[in-house]
Chains A and B, each alone.
Chain A
């Protein structure tokens, strides 16, 4: 087979049908890539125009004059900085609490024996199948009675203890040989020591996946903040953008400028860590 492949690659010239098919493939791929990218291009383009230019006929993709001042204007129209701060606070807190507590719990589920282990784990598995939308109302009633309504903490506790994190980490820990833990136990390491010095360093890939998905999921979350955060000082970027759209519904250029700003942080995270995204989906295939 290797010989076959080599001879094919080293072949004097590929057949004409091969060239045609290959060209066709690239044409289709480039067309689909354009279809995927055009909304983003349009967004950036519109954000640099005057509002009356946005829907000009025929459409101009490159604005005549680049109106960078749109990007200055939006900061005075909405407390965008507050929104960013709130979202970053929530996303970082959730990511931290989620990763720490779920890797902690997953260690016990994967490597320790204790009464009630299976029952407790079944509780987690069973709720993975229950959509959040079916219990968002009772959760809201509960949080309101705890005084968490319209505080950032509401979103933090709502996102931090998902069954998904425990599930993912447990899956990964089960793949680590138990002998490693036993050896460490004989060497006198406590269970906490084993978790900190052996399991954590070995699970970097799983943690990276969990961190990225939690961060992006929290950053982009819309429905949670929409239900819980009403005062402007507490709003996240997503609900802030929504408020801006409702209040300035015909300032298309400014809405697009705020949209571009709201996309930047996740885009940077995604582009720098995309390897982990792809690996994470390919191996777990979870989290729709």
Chain B
């Protein structure tokens, strides 16, 4: 009797558990099915694609080439023969890497300095602080195409920016985006202008979190404003700075929109970026395997910075 009871109980318990799990799956399914089909499968598929040669026709035309695509984009044979300099001056991938890296290395610190300065200024009792904050943040929500084409016009030969520069006595009258030396700077300028307000908001939130008694203690110890800034504010902002810079590095490596609208990667290859390169190979030249191999290079770079961010977050959380 008791054996019957306990097995009956167990059966019911099991049935109950199963129903509970089914309910839970029903919550997740609508999102997960869409996510699995349109994100998870393509992610796995892209790894596979980087090992095949394929022009996008029938699946039967796919040809397994192993690491061939990687050897192709890095031009390993030529580079082995002519040295690493060849990679960064002649090979598309090397140039794209070099441009993207240069863009990142200049944009990130510039944006951070502007963002910190703005946040510090607005963190005081300033009249119209909300108005200023709105203005500085606005470029971030404005659509790329409109603002980029506007900047491109303003940087044209006879545009207002060159007029200003000439008035300052510098003799420069070319279109920025058509000058291979200046084109990348035009992209950097627009990026800093657009993103500084966003990071300013992040810094404002961080400044609000700095304990007030730290400043009191510093004042008691006779520290002046500069000393307070360097010994209290900056160290307190370190986790935010780390977080903001890794986030920005990652988004810099993914740059596409600004380049596509302002320079289309030119003149020549002077503003060719990793994503511009992927796009061209994928959607203009239909070299699906090559495009996927470049995509993997981008993925590896982004993953390195993401992992760094995760591990540092752990460290800050534990401290």
Contact = CB atoms under 8 A, between A and B. Distances in A.
Interface of A: 1, 25-26, 28-29, 32-33, 35-37, 39-40, 42-43, 46, 54-55, 57-59, 100-102, 104-105, 107-109, 112-115, 117, 120, 123-124, 127, 129-131, 133-143, 157-158, 160-163, 165-166, 191, 195, 216, 219-220, 222-223, 226-227, 237-238, 241-242, 245, 252, 255-256, 259-260, 262-263, 266-267, 270-271, 274, 277-278, 281-283, 285, 288
Contacts of A102: 31
Contacts of B27: 104-105, 107-108, 112, 191, 195
Contact of B143 (A33, A54, A219): A219
B38 A139 contact: yes
Given A219-B143, A266-B142, A282-B204, A105 B247 contact: no
Contacts of B40: 123, 127
Given A130-B43, A133-B278, A262 B143 contact: yes
Contacts of A138: 41-43, 45-46, 49, 292
A105 to B, nearest CB: 4
B206 to A, nearest CB: 9
A277 B137 contact: yes
B193 interface: yes
A134 B299 contact: yes
Contacts of B202: 281-282, 285
A218 to B, nearest CB: 11
A139 to B, nearest CB: 4
Given A32-B136, A107-B27, A108-B28, A135 B158 contact: no
Given A25-B121, A104-B27, A282-B205, A163 B39 contact: yes
B77 interface: no
Which 9 pairs, one residue from A and one from B, show the smallest C-beta to C-beta distance?
A161-B34, A282-B205, A108-B27, A259-B146, A138-B45, A288-B251, A114-B24, A101-B31, A134-B295
Contacts of A260: 146
A33 B153 contact: no
For chain B, the bracket of interface size reads: 35 or more
A142 B137 contact: no
Interface in B285-319: 288, 291-292, 295-296, 298-299, 302-303, 306
Interface in B168-211: 193, 197-198, 201-202, 204-205
B299 A288 contact: no
B248 A288 contact: yes
Nearest to A266: B141
Given A120-B28, A255-B149, A142 B201 contact: no
B137 A120 contact: no
Interface in B8-36: 20-21, 23-25, 27-28, 30-32, 34-36
B86 interface: no
Given A33-B135, A109-B28, A141 B56 contact: yes
B163 A135 contact: no
Contact of A223 (B28, B43, B257): B257
A39 B28 contact: no
A241 B142 CA distance: 14
Given A105-B28, A142-B45, A28 B137 contact: no
A30 to B, nearest CB: 9
Contacts of B247: 285, 288
Nearest to B246: A288
A137 B49 contact: yes
Contact of B256 (A25, A166, A223, A288): A223
Contact of B150 (A33, A42, A238, A278): A42
Interface string B122-158: 1010100000111111110111111101110110101
Contacts of A133: 254, 256, 275, 278, 295, 298
Contacts of A35: 193
Interface string B48-84: 0100000010000000000000000000000000000
Contact of B133 (A127, A137, A278): A278
B303 A1 contact: no
Contacts of B31: 101-102, 104-105, 161, 165-166
B265 to A, nearest CB: 14
Given A1-B216, A137-B291, A252-B153, A270 B42 contact: no
A63 to B, nearest CB: 14
Nearest to B253: A131
A280 to B, nearest CB: 9
10 contacts: A25-B124, A29-B132, A37-B135, A42-B153, A108-B25, A120-B28, A161-B34, A165-B31, A241-B149, A267-B142
A161 B142 contact: no
Contacts of B143: 219-220, 222, 237-238, 262-263, 266
A31 to B, nearest CB: 11
Nearest to B305: A129
A241 B145 contact: yes
B24 to A, nearest CB: 4
Nearest to A56: B158
